[in-house]
């Protein structure tokens, strides 16, 4: 019992260390990173300058595949100061730690050394659950950070347009108005427009810098603003009046989205709860009464138990998908 407690304590301390490093890397906004972040995003710095000994190989391997490039874009959109190799390494470490915790919690240490193989395999579901949790936690965190940052950007877009309109009417150029946005407004919109201004100061055209902004921030409202600015540069017109009209449209859209979200939140949370509840019940029953749950996998009953589990998983996925489709209202 004492050995088990020591192992669990060591694994938890190791996981806390990894989480601390992950959070500290995310909150590290040094002056050097602010100056070089946009260069790294656009590939203006060579791989040798960006690479570190720990993540050199992983970054090189991930860059060869589309999933690695997509993960790099997701990290940039979530504003996580991590390379692809560092994020993949964090996932791997958490998966190993979760598998160890699952092995200990599943009773793997209590099985005698001379026990049959079937008795040792009883902890495999707990090991798989622990490894799956270690994989899903950073993935969900990345998606949550990306969605939260996009939502914050959309909520600040109308204020940004108002500030730009006032600047243009006061005699500012478009670049000066965007520079004022980077100084006056909070993150994340100030960070993104600071990057746009820096790119333009380095010689990148305004159209290319704005397209890079749209690529980093996949927002329909931002795409509308950038399209209007590019069209105005081509055909002319009063940019202040155009942005003022767009600002009013975006404010109304944000208001309608808020009302729709209030009306559909109950459906979304009901769908998530109904989808998670059977899975949580299976996990709890596995740890409380493993012999009962193993009836799904015994030789005498697995020809019925495994198809039942698969059918249940398919029905849960279909029900969750249908409820999300009902609550997904396009504005």
Domain ranges of the chain: 152-253, 254-331
Q: How distant, in Å, are the alpha carbons of 69, 189, 217, 232 from that of 242? A: 36, 20, 21, 9
The answer to whether the peptide bond before residue 149 is cis (omega within 30 degrees of 0) is no
Residues 277-289: tens digit of each pLDDT? 888 888 888 778 8
For 152-253, the fitting CATH number among 1.10.3470, 1.10.1740, 3.30.70, 1.20.81 is 1.20.81
> What's residue 251's pLDDT?
87
- If one compares 237 and 115, the residue with the highest pLDDT of the two is 237
Least confident stretch, 78-82, 115-119, 125-129, 231-235: 115-119
Tell me which range, 30-44, 77-91, 234-248, is most confidently predicted by mean pLDDT: 234-248
Residues of the chain with pLDDT > 90, as a percent, come to 5
> What's residue 12's pLDDT?
64
Alpha helices, DSSP H, located in the chain:
2-26, 31-41, 47-50, 56-62, 66-77, 84-105, 117-120, 124-169, 174-184, 189-201, 206-216, 220-235, 239-288, 290-293, 302-327
pLDDT above 70 for 217:
yes
> What's residue 29's pLDDT?
42
**Mean pLDDT computed over 17-25:** 56
Nearest to 105 by CA among 134, 128, 136, 139: 128
**Mean pLDDT computed over 259-284:** 84
Q: Chain-wide mean pLDDT for the chain? A: 78
Q: Using 50, 70 and 90 to split pLDDT, how confident is the model at 26? A: very low
CB 167 within 8 A of CB 243: no
- If one compares 114 and 320, the residue with the highest pLDDT of the two is 320
Residues 154-199: tens digit of each pLDDT? 888 888 999 999 999 998 888 899 999 989 888 889 988 999 999 9
> What's residue 294's pLDDT?
78
> What's residue 127's pLDDT?
83
pLDDT above 50 for 40:
no
> What's residue 101's pLDDT?
86
CB 247 within 8 A of CB 165: yes
| Alpha-carbon gap, residue 331 to 318, rounded angstroms | 24
Residues 48-60: tens digit of each pLDDT? 344 455 556 666 6
> What's residue 27's pLDDT?
47
């Amino acid at each position: 019992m004492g050995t088990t407690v020591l192992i669990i304590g060591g694994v938890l301390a190791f996981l806390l260390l990894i989480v601390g490093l992950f959070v500290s890397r995310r909150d590290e906004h040094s002056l050097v990173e602010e100056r070089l972040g946009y260069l790294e995003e656009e590939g203006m710095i060579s791989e040798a300058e960006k690479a570190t000994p720990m993540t050199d190989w992983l970054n090189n391997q991930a860059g060869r595949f589309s999933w690695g490039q997509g993960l790099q874009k997701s990290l940039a959109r979530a504003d996580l100061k991590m390379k692809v190799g560092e994020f993949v390494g964090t996932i791997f470490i958490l998966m190993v730690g979760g598998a160890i915790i699952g092995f200990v919690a599943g009773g793997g240490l209590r099985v005698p050394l001379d026990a049959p193989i079937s008795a040792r395999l009883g902890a495999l579901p707990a090991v798989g659950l622990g490894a799956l949790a270690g994989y899903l936690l950073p993935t969900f965190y990345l998606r949550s950070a990306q969605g939260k940052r996009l939502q914050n950007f959309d909520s600040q877009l109308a204020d940004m347009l108002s500030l730009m309109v006032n600047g243009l009417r006061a005699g500012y150029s478009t670049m000066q108005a965007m520079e004022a946005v980077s100084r006056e407004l909070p993150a994340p919109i100030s960070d993104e427009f600071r990057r746009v201004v820096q790119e333009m100061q380095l010689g990148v055209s305004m159209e290319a810098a704005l397209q890079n902004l749209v690529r980093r921030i996949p927002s329909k409202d931002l795409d509308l603003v950038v399209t209007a600015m590019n069209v105005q540069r081509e055909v002319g017109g009063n940019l202040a009046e155009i942005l003022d009209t767009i600002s009013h449209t975006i404010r109304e859209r944000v208001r309608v989205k808020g009302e729709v979200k209030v009306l559909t939140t109950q459906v979304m949370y009901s769908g998530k709860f109904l989808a998670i509840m059977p899975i949580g019940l299976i996990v709890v029953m596995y740890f409380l009464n493993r012999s009962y749950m193993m009836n799904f996998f015994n030789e005498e009953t697995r020809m019925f138990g495994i198809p039942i589990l698969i059918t249940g998983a398919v029905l849960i996925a279909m029900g969750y998908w249908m409820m999300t489709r009902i609550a997904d209202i396009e504005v």
